[in-house]
Structure 1
Amino acid sequence: MWNIAQRNLKIYFRDRSAVFFSLLAVFIIIGLYVLFLGDNLANSLKDAGEYAKPLVNNWIVAGLLAVTSITTTMGAFGIMVEDRAKKMLKDFAASPIKRSSLAGGYILSSVFIGIIISIVALILIETYVVVDGGQLLTLLKLLQVLGIIVLSVISGTALVFFLVTFFRSQNAFATASTVIGTLIGFITGIYIPIGSLPDAVQFVIKVFPVSHAAVLFRQVFMEQSMADAFANAPAEVSKSFQETMGVTYSFGDFTVSPLMSILVLLATTVIFYLLAILNLSRKNK
């Protein structure tokens, strides 16, 4: 398993274009916020005064990291699709390597790649925040963010692994990757505050597993800036802001807790790994 994972890691990081395109979504979204969306969001939060910019920046950071957990693992699983297209999976199957070790190698390498690229994205984004006048994360918050990165990448890997089991050609996978990479930001709620969207769209975002990673990231990144901005405001104002910006999710009077968001990601991991294994087993019969 580890040998397969090492091989995939070497292939991935040797291809500089693959690494670049894994980070391309980060660059594009940062560009959109710097040029267009950032100022519009900050202007819509004029009541927050000097804290409007930190609130927006931290909101952006959280959404970017959630999206990165999907886009990077898709790039990593491209190696598996390429191997299948080149019939290399059949060669592996004819070797002493167990099928479980082979699948485990692809999963392990994708998790490592997702975590590494997400950490690189975190460094780039935090650099942008500091240059824009923000503050670095404290050590405790950094550890929390790293923990959420690991959880979101593992969950994203399971989701992408299941999708990859349906692809046998590189062209089909590349097309799907482009479509998913384009849509993921919308269905995770990182371009427009969720409170500005119709109820039906809000529901789709709230039940989409990756969006729960975004919620967890927002709660860590925005905690201090929200405390500063709403220090003298009624609790209802802060609650309304959190629901509008997707810092918390509510279904009627029920509010989703951080623990429940973690459980959603864990359940997603288990369910989609099992579905992927079942699909692979069915195809191998």
Structure 2
Amino acid sequence: MYSLIRRELSLYFSSVSNVLMSILGALISFILYLIFLQHNLSQNFTYLKNGQEILGFWLLSGTIAVAGITTTFTGMSLLVRDIESGTIADFLVSGVSKMKIRLSYLISAYVIGVLMQVSVFGVIFSYFAIFDRVTMSLVQVGKTVGLILFTSVLWVLFNAVVTLPVHNSDNLGRFGTIIGTAAGFFATVYIPVGTLSKTAQSIIGLTPAPYVSTLFRQILMPQSGLTNEVKDLLGLTFTIKGVTLTSPDMLLMVTTIFLLFFGGLLAIGLFWRRESNVI
């Protein structure tokens, strides 16, 4: 199984287009922020002494979440391409069990997701550290990496389910476009969640993405001196029916949403695969 994982990682990292496309959503959000959003958002927070730092970490948190979604999707897409090309059939003929084959793709997608999120985290933070003079403690770095390690498991499971019914590269490309586009919206990286309508907030709240972004923001963004209204506006807190969720609450909610919402899709996808006679 180790050789399978090494092969899948080599296929991903040996292709520059694979790497760039997998973080395209994160790059787009960062570029949009620098070109269009930074000035406008900064004007609304001039009354805050560290407004630029707050906005920088606000963007960074959402971008890490986007990278987690898109990079693990690209990792799992290797399975779809191998099914289409017949490579999986070759593995099965060689005597490798279906369980080991599935597990190798999950592990490689997890490694890809973790490495790429850490890379995005390091690159974007370095930019803000150089140009905006923001700083971060080692405790924040450790908590951020720890959260990346945890949420990457969930995103791998999510994308494993999403790619189950996909059998060819054309459909895979369409799925990738949809996920890459939607990830930034649901992770609330293009616009502060507090500026959205209640209906839009409710729709976004049905997915794990905004809660993951909020967890990163609670670790990275300085909160001293911020009112509850500002915290709600920037997605530092999530309030449901008047109850503000704590970090453990959101971790539990993220996990629960994955288990309930995608459990049904997993059953459907597995049935589809079985009927199609593929792993």
Question: Structure 1 length as normaliser, TM-score?
Answer: 0.90
Worse overlay, 252-261 or 111-120: 252-261
1:255-270 equivalent positions in 2, closer than 5 A: 255-268=244-257, 270=259
The more displaced of 252-261 and 139-148 is 252-261
- Of residues 253, 269, 272 in structure 1, which corresponds to 2:242? 253
1:131, distance to aligned residue in structure 2 (A)? 1.5
Tell me which residue corresponds to 1:52. 51
**RMSD after superposition:** 1.8
Kindly indicate whether the alpha-carbon contact (under 8 Å) linking 2:238 and 2:244 is maintained by their aligned counterparts in 1.
Answer: yes
Q: Which residue of structure 2 lines up, in the alignment, with residue 135 of structure 1?
A: 134
| SS state at 1:72 partner | helix
Q: CA deviation at 1:158?
A: 0.8
SS in 2 for 1:47: coil
CA contact (8 A) 1:74 1:160 kept: yes
SS in 2 for 1:165: coil
For 1:3, the equivalent position in structure 2 comes to: 3
2:6 maps to amino acid:
Q
Aligned match for 1:276, one of 250, 262, 266:
266
Partner of 2:191, secondary structure, is coil
1:238 to 209, 227, 244: 227
1:167 aligns to what SS in structure 2? Answer: coil
Q: Does the CA-based 8 Å contact 1:158-1:273 persist in structure 2? A: no
**For 2:157 and 2:259, how far apart are their aligned partners in 1?**
8
Any stretches of 5+ residues in structure 1 without a counterpart? 231-236
CA contact (8 A) 2:24 2:180 kept: no
Structure-2 separation of matches of 1:278 and 1:28? 33
Q: How does 1:144-163 map to 2 (within 5 A)?
A: 144-163=143-162
CA contact (8 A) 1:156 1:210 kept: no
- Deviation readout 1:146-205 (Å, 9 max, x if unpaired): 011112211111111101001001011111101210111112211111111110101112
Once residues 114 and 25 of structure 2 are traced to their aligned partners in structure 1, the CA distance between those partners, rounded to angstroms, is 16
Per-residue deviation, 1:262: 1.2
* Range with greater deviation from structure 2 (132-141 or 238-247): 132-141
Runs of 5+ unmatched residues, structure 2: none
Conservation of the 8 A alpha-carbon contact between 2:207 and 2:257: no
Higher helix share: 1
Deviation digits for residues 17-55 of structure 1, max 9, x if unmatched? 11122232232221111111011111111221x311111
- Determine the C-alpha separation between the residues in 2 that align with 1:207 and 1:190: 17
TM-score by length of 2: 0.92
Q: CA, structure 1 residues 278+103, in 2 after alignment: closer, same or farther (shift >3 Å)?
A: farther
2:176 corresponds to which residue? 177
Deviation at 1:9, TM superposition (A): 0.5
Task: Quote how far apart the aligned CAs of 1:261 are.
Answer: 1.4
Q: Within 2, Cα distance between the matches of 1:69 and 1:45?
A: 28
Give the Cα separation in 2 of the matches to 1:284 and 1:94.
Answer: 18
Partner of 1:168: 167
Amino acid at match of 1:46: T
3-state SS of paired residue (2:82):
helix
Contact (CA 8 Å) 1:71, 1:181: kept in 2 or not?
yes
Q: Distance in 2 between matches of 1:263 and 1:278?
A: 24
Q: Which moved more, 1:133-142 or 1:210-219?
A: 133-142
Cα deviation, residue 257, structure 1: 1.3
> How big is the shift at 1:273?
6.9
In the alignment of these two chains, the number of paired residues is 274
